[in-house]
């Protein structure tokens, strides 16, 4: 087996583990939230720093777009999401030799996006949310495991790309001399 083939195989295994782990945890936690929290009062832990409460989100991040018509939400939150996830999947396959951290960040975006897309398609455009963090009046919106994967992937990409561009620019500058 060549090094390139072994590397591609390891990337495939890593991608599978990230997708299966994130999507599996997301689905299991949403099923549990639905069966144990829907129609009931929420629960508070750690001096109200962590709240678990059931919510159905018709919108995107923090409910953005939730007031749009169902048809507009479908096009914005399902069709656009499928396109975006297709691009991410293509990048993971076509650029499989990208740096490992960038690969993992994109895999997290893909996993979280798929998790929420499964919800949207299976629950008439709604996503199940159930986690809320904060101290006193300073709180996050209500979110889910897929949102954590998306946020972690996006933050990682945010910090990786300036570094990658700087390194790429330094390499190009070194070639020019």
Residues labelled as active-site residues? 129, 147
Residue 137 CB neighbours (<10 A): 5
Residue 37: half-sphere exposure toward Cβ, Cα within 13 Å:
19
**Phi first, then psi: what are they for 105, rounded to 5°?**
-65, -45
Is residue 155 within 8 Å of 112, Cβ to Cβ? Answer: no
Residue 42 and residue 132: Cα distance in Å, rounded?
Answer: 10
Q: First vs last Cα of the chain: how many Å apart?
A: 38
Q: What angle do CA 151, 34, 62 make, to 5 degrees?
A: 35
**Phi first, then psi: what are they for 89, rounded to 5°?**
-60, -40
């Amino acid at each position: 087996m060549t090094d390139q083939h072994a590397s591609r195989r390891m990337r495939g295994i890593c991608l599978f583990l990230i997708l299966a782990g994130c999507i599996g945890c997301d689905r299991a936690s949403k099923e549990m939230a639905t069966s144990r929290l829907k129609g009931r009062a929420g629960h508070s832990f750690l001096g109200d720093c962590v709240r678990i409460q059931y919510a159905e989100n018709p919108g995107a991040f923090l409910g953005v777009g939730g007031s749009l018509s169902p048809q507009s939400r479908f096009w914005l939150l399902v069709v656009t999401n499928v396109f975006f996830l297709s691009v991410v999947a293509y990048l993971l396959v076509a650029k499989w030799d990208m740096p490992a951290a960038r690969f993992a960040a994109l895999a997290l975006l893909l996993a979280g996006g798929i998790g929420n897309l499964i919800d949207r398609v299976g629950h008439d455009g709604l996503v199940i949310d159930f986690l809320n963090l904060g101290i006193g009046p300073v709180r996050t919106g209500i979110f889910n495991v897929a949102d954590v994967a998306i946020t972690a992937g996006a933050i990682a990409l945010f910090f990786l790309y300036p570094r990658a561009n700087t390194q790429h620019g330094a390499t190009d500058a070194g070639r020019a001399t």
